[in-house]
Structure 1
Amino acid sequence: MSRLQIIVASTRPGRIGLPVGQWVETAAAKHGGFDEIDLADLGAIDLPLLDEPKHPRLGQYTHQHTKDWAARVGAADAFVFVLAEYNHSFTAAVKNAVDYLHTEWQHKPAGLVTYGGVSGGLRAAQAFKPVLQALKVVTLTEAVTIPFVQQFVEDGLFTPNELIEASAGTMLDELGRWGNTLSPLRAS
């Protein structure tokens, strides 16, 4: 049984991240490599700024919102982070969501779907990778980069071109491989 979690990192009203995340969810369902797909929209989850009294590595969570988030992330075998680029980096909401937990992230692969203007969110990806690596998340080389993302969104719907679709397929293939490869580490 393999479970993919897609995390939409932007929380701003009118954001493009949600339509992109919904497209990733549809692409993953069509791909067929995962038994379950969980679209985790940080805008809807609405975690407060980290408010746990103990370090996340202890797993001694006191708030229900943390317990719920831990169960959701812990159940995943692989992740796709849908990252907007804000000021040459990733969003505060995704950093907060990652910092809430520790062991729940470990020994799982992550694919990055980035979007923005001319850079397509690549600066956000480069800034985010060391954060994930510190938690023993394996970030894939295969990724989806969407420059000038506005051209692909109409009436709240993201419609990719062939290159973006092909990139997603390659990334999802690798997520499945790495999820299976890392499975013994998660079991121990």
Structure 2
Amino acid sequence: MPGPPACCLTPAPHGRAPEPAIHRARGAPCPHVPRSASSSAAPAPSASAARSPTRLAARIEAAGGEPVLLDLAEIQLPLLDEALPPASGVRTQPHSIAWAERITALDAVVFVTPDYNAGYPAALKNAIDYLKAEWVGLPAVVVSYGWAGGAAANAQLSAVLRYIGLDLQGDGVRMAFEQGDFDESMRLVDAAAFVARSEDDLRTAVADLVAAGEAAERAAA
């Protein structure tokens, strides 16, 4: 029997739509039986790194989870447009209601994010800010990528997620670019090799997340 579903949430990279980056964890569909979600946006010079969530989905499945990918480029949430704050739980817009339902179905989330100027993408912040209660207590892990592993974006996103009440597992994963990763046009040469360098850290983070999602699911039963 598959583990909880996992979901990936991905902000669109400049000039190119990324693959889904939210994995969700819980016994039902959408980015584990538990499900886990992740979100990421790729900068134009390295847009192929946005494929990381797809590779993460395979790791979630191997750990016993049910991966689900949520692509922010496809979901296209507008800038938060509800009259009342998210903490009120009152939603009137169809896209707000649909987004809340997707996240409520998760058992865990993997947030996959690039580093843009020492921060994470606005599309991801907007998607997070739409909700409040749906995030509280949800097991999560942050996977960042960029020069220095996207450390600044990872720290910034982690601080926000802790503030709103997600249950962050560990310190996350930082996937660092190296000069030889790019060709003369600044395109990532081998995305699989880039992700493989962080294989051990990713496997551990995903296994811990799926276990946390399963524990949360049992506690809620």
TM range (shorter): 0.7 to 0.9
Q: 2:154 touches 2:174 (CA, 8 Å); kept in 1?
A: no
Deviation at 1:60, TM superposition (A): 1.6
TM-score, normalisation: structure 1: 0.86
Please tell me whether residue 26 in structure 1 is matched to residue 47 in structure 2.
no
Q: 1:11 touches 1:93 (CA, 8 Å); kept in 2?
A: no
Q: Which moved more, 1:101-110 or 1:8-17?
A: 8-17
Once the two structures are aligned, what percentage of the paired residues are identical?
31
Q: Which moved more, 1:78-87 or 1:36-45?
A: 36-45
Q: 1:10 touches 1:84 (CA, 8 Å); kept in 2?
A: no
Match of 1:106 among 88, 111, 136: 136
Equivalent-residue separation in structure 2 for 1:168 and 1:178 (angstroms): 15
- The answer for the alignment partner of 1:40 in structure 2 is 70
Q: 1:25 touches 1:37 (CA, 8 Å); kept in 2?
A: yes
Equivalent-residue separation in structure 2 for 1:162 and 1:38 (angstroms): 21
Deviation at 1:44, TM superposition (A): 1.4
Structure 1: gaps spanning 5 or more residues:
none
Q: Are the structure 2 counterparts of residues 158 and 8 from structure 1 closer, same or farther at C-alpha, using a change threshold of 3 Å?
A: farther
**What whole-Å deviation, never above 9, does each CA across 1:76-133 have from its counterpart, x for those lacking one?**
010001111011011111110000011111111111111012x111110101112111
Aligned alpha-carbon RMSD (Å): 2.3
Deviation at 1:26, TM superposition (A): 2.3
Deviation at 1:9, TM superposition (A): 3.5
Match of 2:14 among 6, 9, 12: 12
Equivalent-residue separation in structure 2 for 1:176 and 1:26 (angstroms): 13
Q: Alignment partner of 1:52: what SS?
A: coil
Equivalent-residue separation in structure 2 for 1:129 and 1:180 (angstroms): 22
- The answer for the alignment partner of 1:120 in structure 2 is 149
- The answer for the alignment partner of 2:201 in structure 1 is 167
- The answer for the alignment partner of 1:143 in structure 2 is 172
Matched residue count: 183
Q: Which has the higher helix share?
A: 1
